[in-house]
Each structure stands twice: as C-alpha cells, then as structure tokens.
Structure 1
Amino acid sequence: MSSMSHEFDLSHATMLPPRGERSNAVLTPGEVAAQWDAVHEAAAAVAALAQLGPEELDEELRDLPQRASEAGGPQFELVARGIDDLAAVMQPGLRALLAMTDKGLDTTSAALTLWREFHKARDAIAALAAKA
C-alpha cells in the first residue's frame, strides 16, 4: 500500500486550544468563527488523507457562527461549546494521521473514520444552531 504524502503544517494552525486548556469562559463570536473555519481547514486535510475530494460548504454551514451569535444566549453558548468540542477532537486526530503519514503508513481508513465523525458532530452543531 502506498501512503499519501502531505504538505500540512500544524505549526501555524489557527485552531484555538480546547477551552479546558484556556479557561471556563465562553468563546467570543470572533473566536467561534475562527474556530469554525479552523475545524473546516482540519477537515479538508483529513479529507485529503482519506483520499476524498474537497468539500464545498454551503452558505448555511459557512454562516453558522454568525447566526448563532445573532441568536445569542444559551443557544450561542451551546454552539460555541460544540465547536470547541469538535476542535478538541480534530486537533489530535489530524496530528495522529500526520504522524502515520510520516511513518509511511496508509491513513485512508483512519482518516475516513475521522471524516465521518467530523460530519456527525458538525450536523449536531448545525441542528443546535437551527434551533436558535
């Protein structure tokens, strides 16, 4: 089996560390939007490692942090925490996949599993935002 090479460099990752490593404060709307973009960047890397094509984000998903911010209150907090939790899964998952690639291992199956989990979590977050 041949493994894919990668050009992903996490040294400049924009993904914020999970809240547990920072504080108990709720993320700001700007942080939530940045985190949302970062998890999608990580998901794009995972998709490449799973040998999938790039995903086109529709406007509804792209604008999810803005809609949640406008709703405010508990709904925003739930969405923010959901995005933060998703980042907490994507960061180590992508790092593990990149470590596998560096060792010359095939990442396709593991990356596909993480890709599916990403989509399940993102769908749940989108459902929270839809209730807002």
Structure 2
Amino acid sequence: MNAIPPNFGSSQARSTVSASTTSMRWAALSEAAQVVAMLAGIEPERPGKDIRNFPALIRDAEPWRREMADRGCADLAAVMEPGIATLLAVNARGADCKPAALALWREFTQARCAVLALLPPAGEMGPRRYA
C-alpha cells in the first residue's frame, strides 16, 4: 500500500531532459540554418520572438504539443545534418551549391513553420502562465 510506483517522479525528470534536449536541438538547428542561408547566398534572417523563445514557450505547453515539437525538431535535424554535409562537400569541390542550398533552406523554413505552429496561442497578454 505504501510502495512507491516505479514511474513515480520520472515524468518530471523525463520532461526536463526532453525540454533540455529540445532546447539544444533548436539552437543547433538555428545555427545550421544560418550556414545553409550563407551557402544559398541569401542574407541570414534575424529570428523573431517566437523562434528565439520557442524552447521556453513549448516547455510550458501541453504534453502532446511538447512531444510533437520534440519529434519535429528531431525530424528536422535528421534532414539538416546530411543536407549540410552534402552542401559542404559540394562546395569543397568547387561546384555551385546555391540551388541545392536554397532548396534545403526552403525545406527548413517550411518545417520550422510547422513546428512553430505547435506553440499554444498566446493572445495579446503573452503566453499563458500558471500559478
């Protein structure tokens, strides 16, 4: 009757680890996007408030939103890693990688928009806060 269930307390630890992983992955994706923009020959963008604050905003969202955002970031990283490696290899050989970089940039921005759409609506007073 007084035994602690095996998963007691682990959900918060798991949530913290997941939030930290998502935050680090999001930062890495933002840096990778700057590299792709440079290779595409376009001016790197200045990230908006939602992009900069995404890890903090999604951390406070419902569990299903956090899970989908984590999966979306993982999927986006899975696309960007080999894409950048290929672009750098093409560039190192002296070939023009701008068209491929521009295609990867477009894929990245579309996927990032989909991940950002998972943020809960904030309204005019900012994100929802809980006491």
Asked if TM exceeds 0.5, the reply is yes
Structure 2 residue ranges without an equivalent (≥5): 1-13, 123-131
Aligned residues: 108
Structure 1 letter corresponding to 2:85: R
4+ runs deviating over 3 angstroms: none
Asked if structure 2 preserves the Cα contact closer than 8 Å seen for 1:50 and 1:112, the reply is yes
Question: Counterpart in 2 of 1:92?
Answer: 82
Instruction: Tell me the equivalent position of 1:74.
Output: 64
Contact 1:43 1:118 in 2 (8 A): yes
Of structures 1 and 2, the one with the larger relative CO (CA 8 A, separation 6+) is 1
In the TM superposition, residue 131 of structure 1 has moved relative to its aligned partner by 5.7
Question: Is the Cα contact below 8 Å between 1:75 and 1:131 reproduced in 2?
Answer: no
Query: In structure 2, how many angstroms separate the alpha carbons of the residues matched to 1:65 and 1:129?
Result: 10
Partner of 1:103: 93
TM-score by length of 1: 0.76
Which of 54, 58, 82 aligns to 2:44? It is 54
Partner of 2:21: 31
Q: What's the CA shift for 1:115? A: 0.2
Asked whether the equivalents of residues 46 and 111 of structure 1 are also in contact (C-alpha less than 8 Å), the reply is yes
Task: Using the TM superposition, give the Cα deviation of residue 121 of structure 1 relative to its aligned residue in structure 2, in angstroms.
Answer: 0.1
